[in-house]
């Protein structure tokens, strides 16, 4: 089996070119009822080759027509890991064991989407984030590799493997996976007359939708990856129990996952729109209702002029009634609030 783009050996060469197509490449999937497997396959091919203005997708099962196509997915009765990606033939027995050590998925037989993701997934990721990588010059090659591995695995586990399991009859439903929602949308998009004149247009609409979805998943994964890196870096330089972010980040998953790295941190300062927020951490990783450093009692529930007077800080805007969150009109004001907040609470705890 020639699945070389596995998660254990993803190629991150940003200049790699794999295929050369004609000006208007003819590719095939089966006709009739479409579902997540064939839609995903065409979406993956499309995202892997942005240099192709448009693929001409021919939906057919006729041998003569299939032989005229440059590329065949989920139809044709052959798997070559080159131009043919079908899984219905009797001799086909490829499973996800070739790319995963995870025993919960290794016995899963691959369908067309799995074969396509194994072959082109790294290219889809590369093309989707290429401009973002160029804009973020701080990324080095080691981070590139880690990121590609993680995103490839994430998309495979949440979308591709569940789709394969469902398509090959190894799962009666898709559980709570992301593939479930996608499959429901696609199934409902079929025309009542699945061989009628509008069916092909419905198929193309679904391909565009899935392309958008896959790009969004990859970019959100990228943002989560970068957030985690920056959050852990900020924890290492936190001073006096105050950790500062210079951009808004979804920090809660990282704090929960790396709890011991934040033992010293009492409050976090970060921007949110025109304001800067001050938020304290929970007392432990399992109970976010109990706070390790709630705001001084005299601040709680106050805002505007009342808060400015009690804190002595002109930039102070708001303090939540429970003491878990505060806001200031500037970064310097938020840092002043955070320092006074932590100092007063620590002094009170030590008295």
Which of residues 4 and 231 earns the better pLDDT score?
A: 231
Radius of gyration from C-alpha coordinates of the chain: 26
What digits encode the pLDDT tens for the residues 75-123?
A: 999 999 889 999 999 999 888 887 665 555 667 889 999 999 999 998 8
Q: How far, in whole angstroms, is CA 339 from its chain's centroid? A: 36
Least confident of 20-34, 125-139, 179-193, 223-237: 125-139
Residue 342, judged by CB atoms within 10 A of its CB (0-12, 13-18, 19+), counts as buried
What digits encode the pLDDT tens for the residues 259-303?
A: 999 988 999 999 999 999 999 988 877 777 767 889 999 999 999
Overall average pLDDT of the 180-200 stretch:
91
Which of residues 52 and 331 earns the better pLDDT score?
A: 331
pLDDT of residue 132: 63
Write down the pTM of the prediction. Answer: 0.77
Domains, in order of start, for the chain: 7-226 (no CATH), 238-350 (3.10.310)
CA 248, CA 305: separation in Å to the nearest integer?
A: 26
pLDDT of residue 300: 95
CA 212, CA 214: separation in Å to the nearest integer?
A: 6
pLDDT beyond 70 at 11: no
What digits encode the pLDDT tens for the residues 304-339?
A: 999 999 999 999 999 999 999 999 999 999 999 999
What digits encode the pLDDT tens for the residues 148-160?
A: 778 888 899 889 9
pLDDT of residue 102: 54
pLDDT of residue 173: 60
């Amino acid at each position: 089996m020639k699945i070389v783009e596995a998660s254990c050996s993803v190629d991150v060469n940003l200049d790699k070119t794999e295929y050369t197509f004609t000006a208007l490449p003819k590719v095939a999937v089966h006709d009739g009822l479409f579902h997540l497997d064939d839609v995903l396959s065409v979406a993956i091919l499309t995202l892997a080759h942005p240099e192709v203005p448009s693929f001409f997708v021919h939906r057919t099962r006729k041998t003569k027509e299939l032989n005229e196509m440059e590329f065949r997915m989920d139809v044709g009765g052959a798997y070559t890991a080159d131009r043919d990606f079908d899984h219905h033939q009797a001799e086909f027995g490829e499973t996800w064991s070739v790319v995963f050590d995870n025993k919960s998925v290794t016995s899963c037989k691959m369908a067309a989407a799995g074969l396509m993701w194994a072959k082109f997934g790294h290219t889809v990721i590369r093309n989707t984030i290429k401009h973002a990588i160029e804009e973020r010059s701080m990324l080095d090659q080691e981070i590139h590799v880690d990121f590609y591995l993680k995103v490839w695995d994430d998309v495979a586990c949440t979308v591709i493997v569940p789709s394969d399991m469902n398509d090959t009859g190894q799962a009666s439903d898709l559980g709570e996976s992301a593939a479930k929602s996608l499959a429901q949308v696609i199934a409902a998009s079929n025309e009542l007359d699945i061989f009628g004149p509008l069916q092909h247009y419905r198929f193309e609409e679904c391909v565009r939708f899935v392309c958008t979805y896959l790009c969004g998943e990859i970019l959100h994964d990228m943002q989560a990856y970068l957030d985690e890196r920056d959050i852990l870096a900020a924890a290492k330089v936190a001073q006096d129990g105050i950790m500062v972010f210079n951009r808004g980040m979804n920090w809660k998953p990282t704090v929960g996952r790396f709890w011991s790295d934040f033992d010293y941190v009492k409050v976090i300062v970060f921007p949110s729109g025109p304001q800067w927020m001050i938020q304290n951490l929970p007392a432990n990783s399992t109970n976010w209702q109990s706070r390790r450093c709630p705001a001084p009692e005299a601040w709680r529930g106050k805002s505007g002029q009342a808060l400015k007077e009690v804190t002595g800080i002109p930039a102070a805007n708001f303090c939540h009634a429970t003491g878990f969150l505060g806001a200031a009109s500037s970064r310097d004001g938020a840092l002043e609030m955070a320092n006074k907040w932590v100092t007063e609470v620590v002094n009170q705890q030590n008295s």
